[in-house]
Amino acid sequence: MLARNLPRPVRRVGSHVLKRTYADLNAPAAQSFKVNSDRLWNDIHHTAQWSSPNATTEAGGLSRLSGTIEDKMARDWFHDQVKSLGAKTYAINATGSQIATFEGQDSSVPPIAMGSHLDSVATGGRFDGPLGVIGALEVVRSLKQQGGKTHAPIALINWTNEEGARFFPPLGSSCVYAGQSTVDAAHESKANNGSGETLGAALQAIGYVGDGPNTFQDFPMSAHFEIHVEQARTLETAGKPVGWVESWQGISVFELTLRGEDGHANTYAMHGRRDTLVGASKIIAELDTLAYIADGYTTTTNIQSGPVGSCNIQSWTKVVFCLMHQQLAGLEGMGSQIAAKARSIANMHGLELDVKRIMHLEPGTFWPEAIDCVKRACGDRGIGAKTLTAHDSTMTTLVCPTAMVFARAKDGISHAAKEWTSKEDCAESATVLGKAVLNFDQLLKNKSA
């Protein structure tokens, strides 16, 4: 394992002192590696055509929910690309993830994987997810063109339902891969709009339930690397196009259900009403305040109530919200504080309350030797950063060495049509991804020598 903070060596040549940078520590194969920026940029925009015409996304955005026809089109394109690149194997697993492998010099070594997601949120941008998959594809193309063969095989993965925008929970396939869920549970993932549709049925309908490997045990990887847009302004503020991601913020998602009493909206006396939407609105306001007190983040992401109609007091309400914090103690403290507030508000309004934590990801750090590969690949062009949200990599890191590459995001915006990463920064992040993989490959080669 390489030390996390390697000293900057000084090379003396004659009487001159040449300062070496971190980038000089890249593996020989990584030093001259570079992707084709035109090809990468064209593919990002070419694949953005598969976007729902019904979505409210503004021009330039992307709406490609998991398991939709647009998702199928993007998947089919990915299939064609890996096939034409000469993938040694190609498989679709039970949760719809597409996994392609490319030969290395030693097929007994588990592959080094690069992956992300082609699905988007309903009102998304073109870079969150696609840059990770298409950037990885571009790395394989460029490697092939530059004639180098890696020691370990390479895997390319398009993970299913990373966003969780249509079906809950997010990280739908990578959490099965990491042993945090099961294929059955992933298939049962329910639509957030309350329609009763499931991820399993949607994948079946587009022909993307396959018999490929589902878990780390079925398909071990030597490492997993992922490019993602930063979704914050650390890189932009520092004037750096790329970054190595050291850690992630913890996330808890809660589902809260309130039950009150039916009644006429116009005639029921105000005093004594058991209106669940009034209770829910007070809880939502408390959630917003809590983020400032606890120095975390809170967001209410879904509200449903009924009975539907213009003259019914809302006798049931379901609210889904997430809490985010850099520290585990902070995250858990926020969870218990909002649960206590919700209880007192429910009592005040005579409401039954049920609170369930439906997802929990503790904050953590990626693997030092994988981070180091990205850090050397970035050299002086990058800085260390942390991600404020979950990614497929926050699942793979539970089972194999994992690290992420950040690409500078304009104004830190994501999950919006305004999401933007320049052509140069996209290319630089993909070049860093390729160099990081080659650096890791060198570690594997050294180990087996």
Judged by beta carbon, residue 170 or residue 263, the one nearer Zn ion is 170
The nearest distance, CB 162 to Zn ion, in angstroms, is 6
Min CB(40)–Zn ion separation in Å: 17
What backbone torsions phi and psi does residue 395 show, to the nearest 5 degrees? -95, -50
Q: Which is nearer to Zn ion, 116 or 439 (CB)?
A: 116
- Output the smallest distance, CB 109 to Zn ion, in A: 28
Q: Mask: binding to Zn ion, 76-115, rule CB under 5 A, as x and -? A: ----------------------------------------
Q: How far is the CB of 245 from Zn ion (least distance, A)?
A: 13
User: Using an 8 Å Cβ cutoff, are 276 and 258 in contact?
Assistant: yes
The site map against Zn ion for 108-137 (x = CB under 5 A) is --------------------xx--------
- From the CB of 158, what's the least distance to Zn ion, in Å? 12
What is the closest distance, in whole angstroms, from the C-beta atom of residue 127 to Zn ion in the complex?
A: 9
SS3 for the chain, per residue? CCCCCCCCCEEEECCEEEECCHHHHCCHHHHCCCCCHHHHHHHHHHHCCCCCCCCCCCCCCECCCCCCHHHHHHHHHHHHHHHHCCCCEEEEECCCCEEEEECCCCCCCCCEEEEECCCCCCCECCCCCHHHHHHHHHHHHHHHHCCCCCCCCEEEEECCCCCCCCEECCCCCHHHHCCCCCHHHHHCCEECCCCCCEHHHHHHHCCCCCCECCCCCCCCCCEEEEEEECCCCHHHHHCCCEEEEEEECEEEEEEEEEECCCCECCCCCCCCCCCHHHHHHHHHHHHHHHHHHHCCEEEEEEEEEECCCCCECCCEEEEEEEEEECCHHHHHHHHHHHHHHHHHHHHHCCCEEEEEEEEEECCEECCHHHHHHHHHHHHHHEEEEEECCCCCHHHHCCCCCEEEEEECCHHHCCCCCCCCCCHHHHHHHHHHHHHHHHHHHHHHHHHHC
Q: Are 423 and 204 in contact (CB under 8 A)?
A: no
Q: Indicate left, alpha or beta for 222 from its phi (over 0: left) and psi (-120 to 50: alpha).
A: alpha
* Cβ proximity to Zn ion, 319 vs 359, nearer residue: 359
Give the shortest CB-421-to-Zn ion separation in angstroms.
12
The yes or no reply on residue 230 touching Zn ion (CB under 5 A) is no
Give the count of residues interacting with Zn ion (CB under 5 A): 2
Q: Which of residues 127-186 bind Zn ion (CB under 5 A)?
A: 128-129
Q: Which is nearer to Zn ion, 372 or 419 (CB)?
A: 419
Based on CB atoms, which residue is closest to Zn ion, 128 or 138?
128
Smallest separation, CB 129 to Zn ion (Å): 4
Chain residues 317-336 in contact with Zn ion, contact rule CB under 5 A: none
Q: How far is the CB of 131 from Zn ion (least distance, A)?
A: 9
For tokens 């990081």, what's the residue?
Answer: 436
Which residue's CB is nearer to Zn ion, number 378 or number 390?
390
Nearer to Zn ion among residue 128 and residue 428 (C-beta) = 128
CB of 244 to Zn ion, least distance (A): 17
Query: Could you list the residues that contact Zn ion (CB under 5 A)?
Result: 128-129
